[in-house]
A and B are shown apart, each in its own frame.
Chain A
Amino acid sequence: MMDAIMTDGLSFAMPLLIMAIGGIYSERAGVVMLAIEGLQGFGAFVGAAAAVISGIYLGTESPLLIFIAMAAAMAGGAAFSSIHALLCVKFRAQQVISGMVVNTLAMALSPFLTSVINRAITGNESNKFQIGPSVRFTVPGLSEIPLVGGLFKSMYPFEIVIIAAALISCYVLYKTRYGLRLRACGENPHSLDAAGGDVNRTRTIAVLICGALSGLGGVFLAYSISATYSPNIYVGYGYLSIAAMIFGNWKIPPTACVCMFFGLARSAGYQLCLYLGMPGSYSDLLLTLPYALTLLLLVFFSKRNNPPRAMGETFDRSRR
């Protein structure tokens, strides 16, 4: 049972983490990012569609499909996030509203497009894509460790990609020129402008990165939870990742801990249901555990929070 908690916990925590990291890029650049929910859903849709379409040519069992799905999901998420970037950066729209617009649009658009594509391929109007199970692997040695060995059992290739992305993001945000400028944009965009940097470009790129990472998270959710893509992808995991980002104080390592905490809470709750043999309606209740924990954490953490100072502020050179 411990193994199952660990394995499932990690596979729920990782997509949350990658979406939260996307949010960190955007918000530390000063653009409020409530669009993660829509971006992950739309990214998952594009990824699943790409997998289904390439499955026709490569065969539905091809191990390449999952990588095609990842790449397509990132591209799809980034493309969709350009709406948010355009509204917030170019047209200086209210960023909260723009985020909600993106979410609503994604929720309406992706089921519609799914049916259209399904009709074209198979002739029936399903709003689901059957994407088949992901390859999984077990790390020899590490998986034998008592208690936490489950973390290294039947891993998804996604998890490696996401851990790598998290490490690269730490490097990008804290060590590179782009990272220094990005964080300056979120604290005082005028400082970057006065130093000859391009605030709007920095912010646009940050939002696009957020879109790509959210899309990756979305397609991972589609694979790990159900091996299908359906409109059920919009159940609020994007919002949960925003909560993780906030509790993690817009920093990657603490955010990773919070995601892991959410993941383990969820899988432990699920295993508890199985163990007690509870009826399905009760297990649904226990699955709300991460959300209940969110509320609890909110009480304790919100005081010590340090959001980026210029977050939500549209950049206007002439105003200060």
Chain B
Amino acid sequence: MRQERVENDYIVEMRHITKRFGGVAANDDISIGIRRGEIFAVLGENGAGKSTLMSILFGKYEPDSGDILVRGRPAVLSSSNDAVSLNIGMVHQHFNLVPNYTVAENIILGSEPIKRVFGIFPCVDIKTAEARIAELSRAYGLEVDPSLPIAQAGVSVQQRVEILKMLCRNAEILIFDEPTAVLAPREIEFLLDIIRGLREKGHTIILITHKLEEIMRVADRCAVLRRGRLVGTLAVADTSPQELAELMVGRELPPAGKRPSAGFGDTVLEVQDLTVRDQDGLEVVKGVSFSVRRGEIFAIVGVSGSGQVEIADAIAGLARPQAGRIRLMGLDITDCGIRRRIEAGISYIPEDRQRYGVILDFTLAENLAIKSYYRPPLSKSGVLRPGRIREFADDLIERYDIRGADGAGMITRSMSGGNQQKAIIARELSRDSALIIFVQPTRGLDIGAIRSIHARIIEERDRGRAVLLVSLDLDEVMNLADTVGIVFSGRMVKISPANRLTADEVGEYMMGVRV
């Protein structure tokens, strides 16, 4: 009898779940129980198996072995429809929205309310849907305009739409997959409030994340996964971020200390009155000037979409400036093509690594060689030398600790995000460029990978490189930067040594409160 009572405590129970993908166990004998009305966090590094486990609960994958109980009854979840009919909803990391549909159309897609025009012709009843959505969004504090096209909605609104989609389908159990990865700091605050609000209204929340801070702030309990295994389920009130971090990584973390620069050398990059227009002809960068010296980490910060990425793209040659000059060690590169810039000494770690950083269906070795394949030693008289490319790749894999099942021959798509990023960084740093541009270098990565990338950035600076860092993560900027340049709606509103500004002051410049 006692056994049964304990079971009834759980709204969801996953017992001895094992799931293999081609011999590799993504989940190895994992058992967790989630209580009704709690916020349950699932913590782990990239590739630890958190998303797989929750995809099993949402019916996307079927486990190789193990049982799932929902509300005390065994559940068969062979499609997401099964999960939805058990009132389980999932907000994915990548949103599944139709860009040219309105908020309301996106929400009702798949379960459209129908009215009959003239009593015969069935029509999608968009008016009723919009009214219902407006009502729901008020009740849960999720402000959205139901008739706004998604293409015009920001990331945070899109995420609210995903949440409303689940609420409209009466989801009681809500799974959030890395919900804050795409959000700016203020938006994260709002989201955490929304999540707390959902708990107050009686929903059960499962939060997949690798951010310790979020867990400490909202979660009640936390399961920690490492390499497909459950290493523990803890009550958040009884633990500390350090304990969670060490459980997650399984080793002690390198210290996150800040080290000031030993001193700046010659000017490497000089940007003067740079103006860039976007595809619609709008000026997104307006007359920006700054310079970066040897041994300096210059960080550009700003609210997402303030023009910081366009500045980096213009320097790298991906965007054509409307006006202004860009000089690299005295050489005017404003009108140079991308390859000329690369050879002049620019390394670039792009924001969207899967689109601009690597070719996903190429092997790791090919991706590592992609900026130097065309000249000796990797090719000779226009013919590639696979042996040399392999050696080159093996060397980088070892030096930069890129991990994966099959080494240099592995298809890049099959690697984890953290290792893809390590590969890009390895390729870019191996070129010994004078200027290294990092755009959002740690976005979406776990704490182990973040620390090692931060250490790498500081190491490069200390070797006398000029580093241009573009990041939305204010902590990252304050930890690394020697000089901060703050952009607000396309203008550089403040350039200052980092140690003369507090994080709060930087935030005020970013929001345009202070000028």
Contacts and interface: CB of A to CB of B under 8 A. Distances in A.
A135 B332 CA distance: 76
A188 B108 CA distance: 15
B124 A195 contact: no
B124 A196 contact: no
Interface residues of B, number: 25
A197 B108 CA distance: 11
Contacts of A179: 124
A184 B97 CA distance: 9
B99 A195 contact: no
B81 interface: yes
A171 interface: yes
B80 interface: yes
Interface stretch (B109-117, B211-219, B450-458): B109-117
B383 interface: no
Contacts of A191: 96-98, 106, 109
Nearest to B92: A194
A153 interface: no
A179 B101 CA distance: 12
A184 B111 contact: no
A313 B122 CA distance: 30
Given A176-B122, A176-B124, A197 B98 contact: no
Given A171-B121, A180-B112, A194-B92, A188 B99 contact: yes
B101 A181 contact: no
B99 A309 contact: yes
Given A176-B124, A320-B94, A187 B100 contact: yes
B99 A196 contact: no
A136 interface: no
Contacts of B124: 175-177, 179-180
A272 interface: no
A210 B80 CA distance: 30
Which of B101, B108, B109 is the most central at the interface, judged by chain A CB atoms within 10 Å of its CB?
Answer: B109
B101 A184 contact: yes
A176 B81 contact: no
A176 to B, nearest CB: 6
A177 B98 contact: no
B123 interface: yes
Nearest to A195: B110
Contacts, number: 61
A180 B111 contact: no
Interface in A286-320: 309, 320
Given A184-B98, A184-B101, A187-B101, A192 B121 contact: no
Nearest to B108: A180
A197 B109 contact: yes
B99 A176 contact: no
Contact of B123 (A175, A183, A309): A175
Contacts of A176: 122-124
Nearest to A188: B98
Contacts of B117: 175
B36 interface: no
A192 B108 CA distance: 10
Interface string B59-87: 00000000000000000000011001000
Nearest to B122: A176
A192 B122 CA distance: 20
Contacts of B94: 320
B165 interface: yes
A180 B109 contact: yes
B13 interface: no
A190 interface: yes
Contacts of B111: 195-196
Nearest to B105: A180
Contact of B110 (A188, A197, A309): A197
Interface in B24-81: 80-81
Contacts of A181: 109-110
A90 to B, nearest CB: 18
A194 B81 contact: no
Contacts of A187: 98-101
A194 B79 CA distance: 10
Nearest to A187: B98
Nearest to B413: A319
B58 to A, nearest CB: 10
B97 A196 contact: no
B326 to A, nearest CB: 29
A176 B116 CA distance: 10
B158 to A, nearest CB: 11
Given A187-B99, A187-B100, A188-B98, A196 B121 contact: no
A196 B81 contact: yes
B87 to A, nearest CB: 13
Residue picked from A175, A177, A181, A195, most chain B C-beta under 10 Å: A195
Nearest to B106: A191
Contacts of A171: 121
Nearest to A179: B124
Nearest to B79: A196
A195 B165 CA distance: 9
A192 B107 CA distance: 10
B123 A192 contact: no
Given A177-B114, A191-B97, A184 B123 contact: no
Q: Name the 9 nearest CB pairs between A and B, nearest first.
A: A195-B110, A194-B96, A191-B96, A187-B98, A175-B123, A177-B112, A196-B81, A196-B110, A197-B110
Interface of B: 80-81, 84, 92, 94, 96-101, 105-106, 108-112, 114, 117, 121-124, 165
17 contacts: A175-B124, A176-B123, A176-B124, A177-B112, A177-B122, A180-B108, A183-B101, A184-B109, A187-B98, A187-B99, A193-B96, A195-B110, A195-B165, A196-B81, A196-B84, A196-B111, A197-B109
Given A177-B122, A196-B81, 13 more contacts: A175-B121, A180-B108, A181-B110, A184-B101, A187-B99, A187-B100, A188-B96, A192-B109, A194-B110, A195-B96, A196-B110, A196-B111, A197-B110
